[in-house]
Amino acid sequence: MFFQGLRSQESFSIYKLLMKAKNIIFYKEKLCYFLFISLFSNPSAFFRKIFIIIGNHSSLVLRSEIREKSRMMTEDSLLGGHVRLLQSESGLRATTDTVFLAAACPVGETNAQRAAPPRILDLGCGSGGAGLCVLARAPQATLTGVDIQADLIGLATRNATLNMCENRARFICADIRNFEPESDSFDYVICNPPYLEAGAHTASPDVSKARASGFLEDAQDGAGLKDWLDCAFRCLNGRGSLTLIHRADALDRILQGLGRRFGAVEIIPLWPGAGKPASRVIVRARPNRRTGVILHAGVIMHDLDGCYTIDAGRILRSPCRL
């Protein structure tokens, strides 16, 4: 035997290494012959080769697990279970911003005066979370979602079916810079534009997150904040309303982008805690209005113990208006 003359412990160690190598080698006959020759001609080189093979196999398994995880889905619930949402486990996912954006949409204020059901447009809809949360408290409304990522559009369509809204919701794969309403304009537009402009930060290694942040596959010239506001303006009717959520430090750019074409601006700060600077702002505006700006008190998100406040919890756990 090959292991004759070796101590039993040495034989067992070599045997374990060979068994590991056997499990990761497809064409084992030729390679094992080479390894056996190396074992007796240069033992140190033999063990180095074994460890390299095992290490390479481990890295391949890790990369495979990352690719597989990016395809894995989770089913989550929003609004205390009123909305069910399939989402990528590692890609773009709904957050508290998603729910607060939906809660801030003023649908339902004047529905009694409307001859037709209110029409909602969700720009950059992702997997459909914000729009479906609006539909959960506006059973007469219809939803159109637009996103540049075809896989997210497919996921949003599945989520509409999951929430039994397939007859009231449709999703379109399109670039918001080129999107035009097919027929009538919309009563409400909601959007959660990328918080950082493409090129102003490092792209996420996750393709879905990178594209949602404005990075395109062939360039880094994704839609800027003004592009989102331009699209909202051309899609709204004269009585319509825009609602968006963004970082608080982007408020000056938002107001500048709204310009004179929007008025009746309302600003709702979201404070992470009492006495802390606002981290998010919700901005509502109406096209072709001249009414001044209203700064609301906003919502404090967390108590001193880190739990959600009563007001924040009510919005997060039920389909209600902000």
- State which amino acid sits at residue 185: S
Which residues neighbour 297 within 8 Å (Cβ) at sequence distance 6 or greater? none
From 22, 39, 71, the end of a domain falls on: 71
Range of the domain at 23: 8-71
- Are 123 and 270 in the same domain? yes
Residue 249, domain member (yes or no): yes
- Are 56 and 43 in the same domain? yes
- Are 63 and 107 in the same domain? no
Report how far apart, in Å, the C-alpha atoms of 142 and of each of 85, 126, 287 are: 18, 17, 21
- CATH number of the domain bearing residue 203: 3.40.50.150
Residue 262, domain member (yes or no): yes
- Are 193 and 270 in the same domain? yes
- Structural contact between residues 231 and 273, judged by C-beta atoms closer than 8 angstroms: no
- Are 39 and 170 in the same domain? no
- Are 52 and 172 in the same domain? no
How do the pLDDT tens digits run along the chain, 322 residues long? 444 444 455 555 555 555 554 444 443 444 455 555 555 566 665 555 554 444 444 433 343 444 445 568 999 999 999 999 999 988 889 999 999 999 999 998 654 456 789 999 999 999 999 999 999 999 999 999 999 999 999 999 999 999 999 999 999 999 999 999 877 789 999 999 999 765 544 544 555 554 555 545 443 357 899 999 999 999 999 899 999 999 999 999 999 999 999 999 999 999 999 999 999 999 999 999 999 999 999 999 999 999 999 999 999 999 999 9
- Are 108 and 140 in the same domain? yes
pLDDT, position 202 = 52
- Are 45 and 159 in the same domain? no
pLDDT, position 41 = 63
- Are 125 and 48 in the same domain? no
The domain tally of the chain equals 2
pLDDT, position 92 = 86
pLDDT, position 17 = 52
